[in-house]
Homo-oligomer: A and B are copies of this chain.
Amino acid sequence: MSLDDTRNIIIKVADRLFSRFGFHKTSMDEIAKIARKAKGSLYYHFASKEELFKEVVSKEINKLKHTLSNIIEDPDLDASEKIKKYLVDRMVVLNDSANYHETLRADFFEHFDFIDSLRTDLDNWEKENLKKIILQGIENGEFAPVKEMDVLLDMFIMVLKGLEIPFFLQEKYDKYSPYFEGLMGILIKGLAP
């Protein structure tokens, strides 16, 4: 059994248990038992429970980034199509990211600030990549030039994060997802010249 196998088994089991019970209600003993490893083995591969959880959330985030990067790099899409697909697929992927949902509560609970850097990194990544799309649109004449684009993007990311709470924590995504594209369409139209 190679190094990677044990590590991946731990991650896989942790993903399952954290998804189901949340960070605080999942113990390292449980993860070890179900992974059929000694608890010390978990600590050989991960510095702490927090690092393990971050690894699990990072995998979800990387999956999201991968999906969105494909959209951004697709040469067949113009900027409007890209941003629409970005926004829609973003919610689709995040809807299935149970551990990510837990991070949405971070602002309201103590002992969860170790997650802040992950969330900040994702915000920065998103800002950067949305900006790419918008700049592409401006260059191609699809979008009007935008003043103060950086702050507007900050706020727009707040909007997206704010929507995640009713969608994923209050389970409203299923009800509203068929119409989300329509709302984003209005916004994208507002970007046009």
| Closest CB in chain B relative to A107 CB, distance in Å | 7
Beyond known contacts A159-B162, A186-B190, A187-B190: 16 more, CB 8 A cutoff? A107-B165, A107-B170, A148-B182, A152-B186, A155-B163, A155-B176, A158-B162, A158-B163, A158-B172, A159-B163, A162-B162, A162-B165, A186-B191, A188-B190, A189-B189, A190-B190
Per assembly, the copies of the chain total 2
Interface of A is mostly: helix
Residues of B near A188 (CB, < 8 A) are 190
| Closest CB in chain B relative to A102 CB, distance in Å | 12
Tell whether, in the assembled complex, residue B170 and residue A156 are in contact, meaning their CB atoms are under 8 Å apart: no
Does A179 make an interface contact (CB < 8 A)? Answer: yes
Residues of B near A148 (CB, < 8 A) are 179, 182
Does A180 make an interface contact (CB < 8 A)? Answer: yes
| Chain A residue total in the interface (Cβ 8 A) | 36
Q: Tell me the nearest residue of chain B to A154, going by C-beta.
A: B176
Interface residues in chain A, defined as those with a beta carbon under 8 Å from any beta carbon in chain B: 105, 107-109, 146-148, 151-152, 154-156, 158-159, 161-166, 169-170, 172, 176, 179-180, 182-183, 185-192
Cα-based distance from A154 to B165 in the complex (angstroms): 14
Cα-based distance from A161 to B158 in the complex (angstroms): 11
Tell whether, in the assembled complex, residue A158 and residue B166 are in contact, meaning their CB atoms are under 8 Å apart: yes
Q: Tell me the nearest residue of chain B to A143, going by C-beta.
A: B186
